[in-house]
Structure formats: C-alpha cells, structure tokens
Amino acid sequence: MNRDASRVETFSDGVFAVVLTVMAVELLQNGPARDPGTQLPDALVHAWPTYLAYVITFGIAGQIWLGHHNMWRYVVRVDQVLLMFNLLVLLFVAAIPFTADLLSDNLRGSETEQRLTAALYLGTVLGESLFFNLSWWWARRRRLLHPDLDPQLARAVSRRLVVRPLLYTIAFASVFVDPILSLLLYLLLLVGLSLIRRPGDLPRSASAEAGGEVSGRGR
C-alpha cells in the first residue's frame, strides 16, 4: 500500500537538524585548547583539523539536505522499499559527525591512521550518495512521483544524482594517495556542485507547473 510522503520528509528534516546540532556541539568541545603559555593564534592554528572537518562536514550535510529537499518535493507516495532506502540514507547521514570527529582527531596521526579515518569519512558519504540514487531510481520505477512531473526534469535530476557518487569515488580513491589532499579535493567538489544549476530549478513543462502544489503537500 502506498502512503503519503509528507511524514517521511518531516522525519528526515528532523534527522538533518540533529546532525547539524551535533556538529556544532562537537566544534565547541573540540575547539582550540590553550596550554599554559600558549598564545591564542597558535592554539587556533593548531586546531586546524577540527575546522577543516567541520567545514567539509557542514558542506556535505548541506548538499545532502538540499538534494533531499529537491527530490522529495516530487515524491507524493511512498512504499516500504522507498522507506527502507530513505532510512539507509539517514543511517549514513547520522554517522557523518562520528566519522568527522575521528577524522579531526587523527589527521595528525600516522599515515595509516590518516588513511583509515579519511576512508571511513569519505566512505560514509559515498554510501549515503549510493542509497540516495537508489531512492530516486525506485521512486521513478514504482511511479511514486507526481504524475505531472516533466520527464525531462526527472531525467535531469537522475543525471545530477549519478554525478555525485562518481565524484565521491574519485575523492575516496585519492585517500590512498594523500588523505589531506583527498579532503581538499572533496571540498572543491562541494564548491563545484554548489555552482551547478540544480535540476529542481530548471524550467518545467506546463503540466508540471499545474502540478506545482506537490511541494506544499500535506502542509
């Protein structure tokens, strides 16, 4: 039996809100530690792994939330499989702060520790992206999207979603070359994805415009 999708989006937004809150708390807890005789500028510089992990993680969470919002504006019904795929997306999203904390604690560690924590971090993001793609693929396959959705727009969303795991895989592979370089590469990917025009902003057909109430369903 297909069910209304509004509760799923509300629940997912709550998970994103908790993740962002946890990130802010961890930033406070892992801020610059000032040993006796240490100047504040030195302490701030010493804590650079914390800032790097925070900025990248916030960018990741923001990109995922934007993508989730753009996708679910077109989903009008859900079934059990789509619910499971969405829960798996949120499983990886909820794990991002944990892997970010590991990363910031070990960027100054041994080469093995750097590679392991960077691989866990990027692997978590890659897992989220794969299940996100599966969610969209299943929604299209099972006709859970709004019936007036422009097929051209649906294909544009699909193309954009496929790009993300491909880019994340490149960043993941570069971990084994240089962990810090892989994180900087991921940061550049985030900036690049932010500059690309989102499929959700593309012009719609007249029929899709007529079905525009989908973004405000159940509210």
User: 64-95 pLDDT, tens per residue?
Assistant: 998 898 899 899 999 999 999 999 999 999 99
Tell me the pLDDT of the chain averaged across its residues.
80
Residue range 197-213: average pLDDT? 42
Share of the chain above pLDDT 70, in %: 83
User: 155-179 pLDDT, tens per residue?
Assistant: 888 888 888 888 888 888 888 888 8
Length of the chain: 219
Residue 33: the pLDDT is: 60
Instruction: Assess contact for 187 and 167: CB atoms under 8 A.
Output: no
Instruction: Assess contact for 106 and 35: CB atoms under 8 A.
Output: no
Q: Kindly tell me the burial class for residue 216, based on how many C-beta atoms sit within 10 Å of its own C-beta (0-12, 13-18, 19 or more).
A: exposed
> What is the pTM assigned to this prediction?
0.80
Least confident of 12-16, 22-26, 41-45: 41-45
Residue 214: the pLDDT is: 42
